[in-house]
Amino acid sequence: MSHCFSNRNQRKLCSDTSTGDKCIFRVKFSSKMSYGNQTQTLNITAEQQYVGLLERVVFSTLIGMPCCLFLFINGIMLFTLRSKAAFRETCRYILLYNLLFSDTVLLALSQLMYIMAVCRILPTYPVCGVLTMLNRLTNEISPLTLVVMCMERYVAVCYPPRHATIITIRNTAVAIIVVWAFSSLNVLIRVLLLLKFPFEELPSLQMTDVCSDIAMFLGPMSDIYDKAYTGFVFLSAGVAVTCSYVGVMVAARSASTDKASAHKARNTVLLHLVQLGLSLLSTMHASIIISLSTTLQRLLIVRIKSILYVFIYILPRCLSSLIYGLRDQTIRPVLMYYLCCRLPKFQ
């Protein structure tokens, strides 16, 4: 419409002007201005697309490289824990294997979903549902396993004569089964809430946004249940680990306790407390993003999600390998032996 209006003005100008050269000059000048504006708009759009692509490549590289590195380290750590009978028959190493296994699976799933989001791969709702529920399952395993590990350290320091009778391989296996059963029940409830959504009313099962746990909040009940469950796990796990830490601290000051063992157990529980805090923050990831999305722009939300992904998902899943791989005198030489491709120097 503006183009036609401009042409009518140009024709009127030509009819009102006595000199034909002035008319031709004004028409050409107007055409050049219009073409110049269009070219400038295209250049700005292309520049924005280039900056967006460059930013995605940089973020993907900075996030993908440490993630792949720790996936490799976690894989070697898992192999190390299954390589010797001493590790397979010690309760704390059995719990560590369960923690590392869930962390490794979660790290792989999270990286897969991140790559899909960066490449703008939009799956169907069933595929995204399977990925997010597996992500939820492994994400809940970590804090619950950390609680069990802290309680094991508490019994080892505070009740050393009864440690061998309480912390047995059978009881450890029962604790691991309870952790997986509780987490699976949580996922089952989420699936039942998800099935109440009227998918048949959608024009297509193809998603219109990237696959994430937030995208699968398809009803108000899912959001309410997520907040209630997150609050329950956060509170109960925090209280359990804090009580374990206080108990170890009290036992460390007792004259009848081995000071070196109590000091080491206190540091381990403290590191687990930090790790638990980061892991529990990952359960609040969806609530944090939803709260921020009401006030911030979408581009800023995407950047915040990338930063939270590093500090909430990747970092806690790398601490287990660092805590036990570097601090544990039994695991460290075996881990270094396999990391260094079985060189004789590390035998």
Instruction: Give the lowest-confidence range in 88-97, 283-292, 317-326.
Output: 283-292
pLDDT in the model for residue 47: 46
Q: For residues 312 and 94, which has the higher predicted lDDT (pLDDT)?
A: 94
Q: What Cα–Cα distance (Å) separates residue 315 from each residue in 5, 94, 136, 187, 281?
A: 60, 22, 17, 24, 12
Return the domain boundaries, the chain.
49-199+224-340
Q: Is residue 264 pLDDT above 80, yes or no?
A: no
pLDDT band at 346 (very low <50, low <70, confident <90, very high): very low
According to DSSP H, which parts of the chain are helical?
Answer: 2-16, 20-81, 85-88, 91-118, 125-158, 163-166, 169-195, 220-252, 259-283, 285-293, 298-308, 315-327, 331-339
Alpha carbon of residue 287 to chain centroid: 13
Residues 49-199+224-340: name the CATH superfamily: Rhodopsin 7-helix transmembrane proteins (1.20.1070.10)
Residue pLDDT, tens place only, 313-328: 777 777 777 777 777 7
Residue pLDDT, tens place only, 14-42: 444 444 444 444 444 444 444 444 444 44
Give 124's strand partners: 206
